[in-house]
Structure 1
């Protein structure tokens, strides 16, 4: 319950999603222990714990956690106007197609997809487009999809225009443009 309240107040992160999954798994284990105490047989409990953990991990892999987090944080932005753009930009390449296809304002979308917030915040003059930092040996399906999605969004003309987004002042930045 507390995690749900925290997510509603501050948005989703991959870690918060994994905590939800772990809490679900832990609840299943507690129920299993209670059932085993009632039936006085615990031989099945270890296998059930391993099977439920494997099912949870496979489920998390299939659901694409970073894309899910991006989608829910963008929905939250549309409802409340609050968005942690630096965190959204820090999600893995698996989230890029979701961000590119979203209804975020184009200037915000360009900053999130084309400017690495941590490089930018450290030294705005050295801001690097995330698409340009990878070696071809690191290419995989997620990065290939991210490259295609980034190509559909025009990069910001000047990375300095992203400062308000990465400083957390999304509402004022969106109104001024």
Structure 2
């Protein structure tokens, strides 16, 4: 059942490339798809088993080559051999190419149809297609090898460690909880007093306030998860008093960490309101939301004193966060927020918006001229007609939006894209 869920997640992640035109989003989805595909084939439930599973695909691809050769030698089909099948395929390809070229030269409509069905066969495009086919073929071969010879990852667990003395882990956590509580009390002042209170008190700008603390708080959030994992592993849990102490100290740390996450998100919101939304700001805000969800899951694991389900949910929630990002259409969301901000404040970074993908076209189309054409000019220039192999809903919608009112601005019309 778990393998089917990971396989479905892999398909959903890869399908993002056919829906969204943002290349950076598709690249993140492909990286995540490599992880989920590995888990679909190899399994693995424990953290150590999942870590080992991530190293299996490269080794499996290398070992699959001699395995496939031995399988072909052992298989003796009743029909024609491999050599004759390859010859038949070569003859078929030659005949289709010859007659396809003749028919294409005889009818322009048929030529357009063939051009849409066939990938780019120019020298550069041909090398790219061969590289893609090679990588896909090796990946499928490695996956077939792992399916036929599945590794045993269920027994891979980290060696048990000697529980620490109560004072050894209680004292650091009590002090850490106290430090977090002091920080949280300051953050509550920020929440109730607003960013203006902090700016007047500390004498900071919006950029200094947001950037000066967000990345540190992001590091604190990640390190806190590591501290909780180590403490949960080393803390004694043999008696009822030990288990109660674990729940209180780790639960308090998880709850206070949620306020740290909220503070980091608030700082990023202040920064985005002051300077506009960008891809980086949206991604790091999504990461913070995901880390906040992890703290909720950690809190549940601490209360239940069981965390065998947590590693799979960590990856599962990360995949859901990435798919959620694809659902909200990030480039369009960024463009919408910046256009709304322009309509309220009159400030807009047209140069940045012009570098977004075709997903942002419906939002940028709301801008008045000449800003609309300046923002859409570069995007429109990179919107060729997609063939069957590169069909994309985002680019198709952008072409429909730009069809009635194309972007007509020239370079001289947009001398300084940041001046608005």
What TM bracket, shorter-length normalisation? 0.7 to 0.9
Question: What is the CA distance between 1:80 and its match in structure 2?
Answer: 0.7
Count, aligned residues:
153
1:32 aligned to 297, 304, 309, which one? 297
**Could you tell me whether the CA contact under 8 Å between 1:109 and 1:153 is conserved in 2?**
no
Structure 1 residue 139: deviation in Å?
A: 4.8
In the alignment, is residue 111 of structure 1 matched against residue 362 of structure 2? Answer: no
The aligned counterpart of 1:169 is: 419
Which structure has the larger Rg over C-alpha atoms? 2
Whole-angstrom CA distance in 2 between matches of 1:96 and 1:70? 8
TM-score, with length taken from structure 1:
0.77
Instruction: Give the structure-2-normalised TM-score.
Output: 0.34
For the structure 1 residues 57 and 89, does the alpha-carbon distance in structure 2 shift closer, same or farther, using more than 3 Å as the test?
A: same
The answer to whether 1:148 aligns with 2:413 is: no
**Within 5 A, what are the aligned runs for 1:4-83?**
4-83=269-348
Separation (CA, whole Å) in 1 of partners of 2:291 and 2:406: 45
Distance 1:139 1:37 in 2: 47
| C-alpha separation in 1, matches of 2:401 and 2:307 | 50
Aligned-pair RMSD on alpha carbons? 2.0
Q: How far off its partner does 1:11 sit?
A: 0.5
Q: Partners in 2 of 1:41 and 1:157 — Cα distance?
A: 61
In 1: Cα distance, 2:287 partner to 2:409 partner? 43
**C-alpha contact 2:290 2:318 (8 A) present in aligned 1:** yes
Give yes or no for the alignment of 1:87 onto 2:339: no
The 1:112/1:91 distance shift into structure 2, 3 A limit, reads same
CA shift digits 1:120-152 (9 cap, x unpaired) = xxxxxxxxx5246x4644452211211221223
Where 2:405 maps in the other structure, the secondary structure is coil
1:99 shift after superposition: 1.5
Distance 1:91 1:14 in 2: 9
Q: 1:83 to 1:96 in 2, by over 3 A?
A: same
Superposed displacement of residue 98, structure 1: 2.1
Moved over 6 A (4+): none
The offset of 1:157, in angstroms, is 5.2
In 1, are the aligned partners of 2:370 and 2:409 still within 8 Å (CA)? no
Structure 2 counterpart of 1:130, from 375, 381, 397 = 381
Aligned to 1:98: 363
Alpha-carbon distance in structure 1 between the residues aligned to 2:405 and 2:372: 8
User: Secondary structure at 2:308's aligned position in 1?
Assistant: coil
**SS at 1:106 equivalent:** coil
2:408 is paired with a residue of what secondary structure?
coil
- In structure 2, stretches of 5+ residues that fail to align are 1-265
Q: 1:136 to 1:32 in 2, by over 3 A?
A: closer
Pair 1:29–1:89, CA change in 2 (3 A): same
